[in-house]
Every structure is written in structure tokens, then in C-alpha cells.
Amino acid sequence: MAVTIADVAARAGVSKTTVSRVLNDKGEINATTVLKVREAISELGYVPSAGAVGLARGSTRVIGMLVPEMSWPWTGTVVQAVVDTLEREGFGMRLLTCNRGEASLRRLGAQVAAKSFDGLLVIEPEGTLGYIQELYESGLPVVLIDDRGHRPGFPYVETTNREGGAQAARHLLDIGRRRPLVVTGPESYGCTRERLAGFVDAFAEAGITLDERTVTSGGFQFEGGRAAVRRALADGTAFDAVFAHNDASAAGVLVGLREAGLEIPRDVAVVGFDDVELASYTYPALTTIRQPMREMGESAVRLLLERVRSSPQVSTSCSLATSLVIRGSTQQVSTA
């Protein structure tokens, strides 16, 4: 049977209210009493529930996190960073998904109404941004970890997608590539438009106008990248480089090029975006634009906790810089 707050109170010879006050560091309590309660907690192995801790504090010290799914590598990295940061701050996390559509949103609404958590972090499940906006406007502290460039009307943490696209372009130009194929993400995503715009602008600054026929969708999927290469080769499109808008589609590009008998990077250089773990293990290892995923999760937690704690110096949103990671898909390795 689980140890309860009543068990702790009985062992320490105090009231349940006193135990709750000790757990919450609330009120003036005699040092001897505090010591007795903490000894009782240790002896009994009591683990306070969020509800017990929140009894006197008026908060749960739990943060909700809404995600689309856990299978996507980007999501897992961000969630782990969130968990690590919350643990350091003495908070727990309740993970929520939208796998059941409207039923999942109703469950989320019920948990918000029951005040099951103090605030909500969101990696947006498709089509939920309007509902999340309503939760924010109702008073719930919310921070979006914005992987799609949506920039909602509430606090968010994003990365510099446009500059990331420009970084990819400048690297390809630096290694002498002038005829790129661009494999984009979904057209509805702001990050897709920004990565493309930054890339196009950097080539324009070098006096090169990209042909719109060299821009094709890969949908952020491995098979999408592979198919994009096949289409371009079948159409007779000439290219000496590929910029894929995420690492999954870039991995598909690498396979599609090898299947066509092309050598990477001698014949075609390839740049991805994200720097997920996969990028280090492709063949050749993938040059990519690093999206600071862990830092995004950590920053989102700090921003949300500032709002939960009602800090007067709360910043609205923040943007974290991308960086270029050069590996074998653009850098010929010398065998000498």
C-alpha cells in the first residue's frame, strides 16, 4: 500500500497540514518540527503527489507538454531537453498527444479545467494552433516550441530558418556549386518558406537566379527526398548540389543519388537541415544546418516557468541561431 501524507503526519506526530506546509516550504515552522517531518518522509519512503505538494502552494509543480507524436527524431530530442530542465527546476511533466483527434483535445481541456498542471508547452499537432490560442487567452501560461514558423499570438521559441537556408547556400557556393536542387518541406509550413527564401536570396546575392523547376517538394520524408531526386534525374534537370529542408529527406536524397550511380560529394553535394542523430550515420555523413533542438526545449521551459512564477521581466518570445555542421556529404575526404 502506498505511503500517504497521513502516514507521515502520524510518524512525525504532527497534523497533515503541517506536513503539507513543510513540503511546500510555506509558513513559519519550528526547525525541530521540520526535521521530524523530513525524517518521517525519509523513513517511510514517502513520495509526495503533485496534489499534496500543491495543497498549500496553490500550484502543482507539473508542466503539461502537448506533442504531435514521439516517433519523429526532432520531437524526442526536444522532449528530453524539456524533461531534464524541468527536473533541475523541481517540476514534473505530463506528456499529452493528439493521437485521438477531438477526443484528445477534450481530454486536454478537462485537464486544464482541473488545473492538472501549471502551464503548457506545445509542439503543435496539426490543426490545433487555434485551440491552443484559446487556452492561452483563457489565462493558461503557454509557450510554443515553433518548428513550423507559425509565430502565434502567444510566446514561442523558434530557430532562424531563413538564416539557416542562407547558410546552406553560402556553403554550397563556397565549395563551387552553382546549380542546386532544392527539396522542400510542406508548403503550408512557414519554416519551409523561410528556408527557401534564405537559400534563394543568398544565391541571388552571388548573381545566380534559381530556376523554379529546380525546387521540388520532399515533404520532410525519407521517401520524399528519394523520389525528388528520381524526378529531377528523369526530367533531365542538371544539378551539382541538393539542399533538402530536413535530414530525413536529405537521407532519402543520398540513397536516390547512389542508386543513380552518382558519387557524393564529387558529383553532387548534399546539405540537410536539423542535425538529428541520423545525420551522423548516413553514408556519407550528412552536412546539415543545425537547429538547436535541446536549446529550444530548455529555453521554452525557462520562458514558461517565468510566466508561471509571474516574473515581471517575462520576455515575449525568443529566436535561437542555426549553425552549419560540415560532414562528408559536401567535403571530399582525402585518401592521401
Q: Where are the domains of the chain?
A: 5-57, 62-159+293-320, 161-291
Distance between CA atoms of residues 185 and 299, nearest Å: 25
CATH: 1.10.260.40, 3.90.1150.10, 2.40.50.100, 1.10.3720.10. Which one for 5-57? 1.10.260.40
Q: What is the pLDDT of residues 243-291, one digit of tens each?
A: 999 999 999 999 999 999 999 999 999 999 999 999 999 999 999 999 9
Predicted pLDDT of residue 73: 73
Distance between CA atoms of residues 260 and 256, nearest Å: 6
Q: What are the two backbone dihedrals, phi and then psi, of residue 311, each rounded to the nearest 5 degrees?
A: -70, 135
Q: Please report which confidence band the pLDDT of residue 72 belongs to, taking 50, 70 and 90 as the band edges.
A: confident
pLDDT, the chain, mean = 88
CATH number given to 161-291: 3.40.50.2300
Does domain 62-159+293-320 fall under CATH 3.40.50.2300? My reply is: yes
Residue 179 amino acid letter: R
Q: Please report which confidence band the pLDDT of residue 208 belongs to, taking 50, 70 and 90 as the band edges.
A: very high
| 142-145 sheet: strands from edge to edge | 92-97, 62-67, 119-122, 142-145, 156-159, 318-320
Q: Please report which confidence band the pLDDT of residue 26 belongs to, taking 50, 70 and 90 as the band edges.
A: low
pLDDT at 135 over 80: yes
Q: Please report which confidence band the pLDDT of residue 55 belongs to, taking 50, 70 and 90 as the band edges.
A: very low
Whole-structure pTM value: 0.80
Angle at 188 between CA 240 and CA 108, to 5 degrees: 130
Q: What are the two backbone dihedrals, phi and then psi, of residue 142, each rounded to the nearest 5 degrees?
A: -135, 140
Measuring CA to CA, which residue among 298, 273, 316 is closest to residue 74? 273
Name the least confident of 97-101, 130-134, 244-248, 294-298.
Answer: 97-101
Predicted pLDDT of residue 175: 97
Q: What are the two backbone dihedrals, phi and then psi, of residue 60, each rounded to the nearest 5 degrees?
A: -95, -20
The answer to whether the 62-159+293-320 and 161-291 domains have the same CATH topology is yes
Burial class (CB in 10 A: 0-12, 13-18, 19+), 198: buried
**135 or 290: which leads in pLDDT:** 290
**6 or 208: which leads in pLDDT:** 208
Are the C-beta atoms of residues 248 and 219 closer than 8 Å to each other?
no
Q: What is the pLDDT of residues 156-192, one digit of tens each?
A: 999 999 999 999 999 999 999 999 999 999 998 999 9
Quick check: bond before 284 cis, omega within 30?
A: yes
